[in-house]
């Protein structure tokens, strides 16, 4: 007869007894005692719960408890936030950290953050300086604006602009531009948070200058344009240009704001990239303030850049809220180094990874796909990997309707279900995030870096071995 619950519970060793076990004594050489104690306690508690729930009817085996504790120790030793391989082909993938940084930006962070830096120190005068001063001049040069400032992200930039110039007043926006970006940024909500009243004008597909004109009242503060970053209204449409909107704002003593989202610093068409509004053009067209993200098409660290008229930037900088949105030194180090890559468009598309990936030709991608395919085939003779063309997207709320022709490696695992394999890949030592299409796993070479190849191959090998372990159960079905 099976032992009863009380007997089983009594058979559970105590944590202090386990701490004497020779295997555990070994662990204590490399792992802090408190961590080992916690892992052991967790293993014992789990076993106790299972016995109490009637899920375990044999005496607990010490080896089993130690294995559970060891798994927990391993789990704790892996950082939660870590490097993954983006095989989705989505270059500006918000879930995967948007733009990867350039070598220069990484070096700047490593160098500047490994010791002290002159973050808020004026070396010439030997006195307290301003943190944004390190990038202001370069932002001005890159955009043609009079002045510039930097905050934590573009959502903060938008909110700060609204709060500074239109709190308690009205902001006029076209109905076709009431954007939502990734769920947490919805323009109407940001307007409310900034204490401004949203005045919608026009219709979803057509808004004319006269719509803005007739909406202007005594308490209007801003004429706001938001770039429809992640969608396009196409067909029977009409939008007011930033030039016309800015001219209207000027005539009526208002401020024209252009939220570009993914502001690019040069004409993207000039280097074979899909069209997106350029910051310099907005400024030249007369926008009073332009804001954009640092980690979208600009290809730098997460931040929000605001450029525009000196007097307005000065007022933003002196808003007490500015202190709550200020960026850290890591951001500024990376931002300055990324700006330095923009000496000209050709230099930028070479050294800014997001731009280089977006511009990669299908020939180039096919060549790299073949090289990776050969490596995979070498390691896994029983599996079949195919190079084929596919359609991808930029992502990160950029270039929405522009499909990017791309090249993928397609793989239908021979012995496991595709979604089980995708899960195993996500849980590999270097996790691989890949799409499933046509019941096959796809590795899109646009976002798989050359430096990822070795990791990708070993993660795939490990996932196949792991999945093979689970395969026996599948076969019994
Ligand atoms: C992406 C985007 C934002 C938000 O920018 P974050 O940097 O993600 O905060 C705001 N406005 C537009 C138009 C965008 O495309």
Tens of pLDDT along 137-178?
999 999 999 999 999 999 999 999 999 999 999 999 999 998
CATH code, residues 85-93+357-467: 3.90.1150.180
The reported pLDDT for the residue numbered 400 is 67
Cβ of 185 below 6 Å from ligand 1: yes
How far does the centroid of ligand 1 lie from the alpha carbon of residue 109, in Å?
A: 24
Atom of ligand 1 nearest to the CA of 155: 9
Cβ of 282 below 6 Å from ligand 1: no
How far does the centroid of ligand 1 lie from the alpha carbon of residue 292, in Å?
A: 7
Residue located via tokens 């704001």:
257
Tens of pLDDT along 85-144?
999 999 999 999 999 999 999 999 999 999 999 999 999 999 999 999 999 999 999 999
Cβ of 220 below 6 Å from ligand 1: no
Which residues are within 8 A (CB) of 94 and not within 5 positions of it... i.e. 6 or more apart? 182, 395, 396, 397
The reported pLDDT for the residue numbered 396 is 66
Which residues are within 8 A (CB) of 231 and not within 5 positions of it... i.e. 6 or more apart? 179, 400
How far does the centroid of ligand 1 lie from the alpha carbon of residue 293, in Å?
A: 6
Which SS3 state, helix, strand or coil, does residue 220 take? Answer: strand
Judge whether 306 and 164 are in contact, CB under 8 Å. Answer: no
Same CATH fold assignment for domains 85-93+357-467 and 101-351: no
Cβ of 453 below 6 Å from ligand 1: no
Judge whether 391 and 472 are in contact, CB under 8 Å. Answer: no
Q: Give the separation between CA 105 and CA 341, rounded to whole angstroms.
A: 9
Question: Which residue, judged by its Cα, is nearest atom 2 of ligand 1?
Answer: 261
Cβ of 154 below 6 Å from ligand 1: yes
Topology given in CATH for the domain delimited by 101-351: 3.40.640
Task: Give me the DSSP letters along 322-362.
Answer: HHHHPPPHHHHHHHHHHHHGGGSHHHHHHH-HHHHHHH--H
Q: Give the separation between CA 82 and CA 95, rounded to whole angstroms.
A: 12
Sequence ranges of the domains in the chain = 5-77, 85-93+357-467, 101-351
Cβ of 187 below 6 Å from ligand 1: no
**Cα-based angle 377, 381, 386 (whole degrees, multiple of 5):** 40
Atom of ligand 1 nearest to the CA of 262: 15
Instruction: Tell me the two tokens of residue 233.
Output: 């209204």
In DSSP terms, 442 is beta-bridged to 410, 435
Tens of pLDDT along 193-219?
999 999 999 988 899 999 999 999 999
């Amino acid at each position: 007869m099976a032992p009863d619950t009380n007997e089983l519970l009594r058979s559970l060793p105590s944590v202090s007894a386990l701490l004497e076990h020779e295997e555990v004594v070994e662990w204590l050489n490399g792992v802090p005692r408190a961590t080992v104690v916690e892992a052991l306690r967790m293993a014992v508690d789990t076993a106790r719960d299972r016995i109490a729930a009637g899920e375990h009817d044999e005496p607990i085996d010490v080896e089993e408890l130690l294995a559970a504790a060891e798994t927990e120790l391993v789990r704790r030793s892996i950082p939660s936030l870590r490097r993954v391989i983006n095989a989705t082909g989505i270059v500006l993938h918000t879930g995967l950290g948007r733009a990867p940084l350039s070598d220069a930006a990484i070096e700047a962070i490593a160098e500047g953050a490994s010791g002290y830096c002159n973050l808020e120190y004026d070396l010439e005068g030997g006195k307290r300086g301003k943190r944004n001063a390190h990038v202001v001049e370069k932002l001005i040069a890159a955009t043609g604006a009079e002045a510039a400032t930097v905050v934590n992200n573009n959502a903060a930039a938008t909110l700060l602009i609204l709060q500074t110039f239109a709190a308690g007043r009205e902001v006029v926006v076209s109905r076709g531009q009431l954007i939502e970006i990734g769920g947490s940024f919805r323009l109407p909500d940001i307007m409310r948070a900034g204490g401004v009243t949203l005045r919608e004008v026009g219709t979803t597909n057509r808004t004319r200058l006269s719509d803005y004109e007739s909406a202007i009242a005594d308490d209007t503060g801003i004429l706001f344009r938001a770039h429809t970053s992640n969608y396009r209204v196409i067909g029977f449409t009409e939008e007011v240009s930033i030039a016309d909107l800015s001219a209207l704002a000027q005539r009526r003593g208002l401020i024209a704001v252009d939220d570009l989202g993914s502001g690019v610093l040069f004409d993207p068409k000039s280097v074979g990239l899909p069209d997106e509004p350029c910051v310099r053009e907005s400024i030249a067209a007369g926008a009073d303030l332009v804001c954009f993200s640092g980690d979208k098409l600009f290809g730098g660290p997460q931040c929000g850049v605001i450029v525009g008229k000196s007097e307005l930037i000065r007022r933003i900088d002196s808003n007490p809220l500015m202190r709550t949105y200020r960026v850290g030194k890591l951001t500024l180090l990376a931002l300055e180094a990324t700006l330095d890559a923009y000496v000209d468009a050709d230099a930028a598309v070479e050294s800014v990874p997001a731009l280089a990936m977006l511009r990669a030709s299908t020939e180039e991608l096919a060549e790299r796909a073949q090289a990776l395919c050969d490596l995979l085939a070498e390691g896994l003779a029983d599996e079949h990997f195919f190079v084929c063309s596919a359609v991808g997207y930029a992502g990160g709320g950029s270039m929405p309707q522009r499909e990017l022709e791309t090249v993928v490696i397609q793989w239908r695992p021979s012995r496991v279900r595709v979604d089980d394999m995708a899960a195993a890949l996500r849980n590999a030592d270097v996790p691989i995030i890949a799409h499933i299409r046509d019941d096959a796993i796809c590795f899109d070479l646009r976002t798989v870096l050359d430096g990822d190849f070795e990791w990708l191959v070993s993660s795939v090998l490990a996932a196949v071995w792991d999945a093979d372990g689970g395969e026996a159960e599948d076969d019994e079905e």
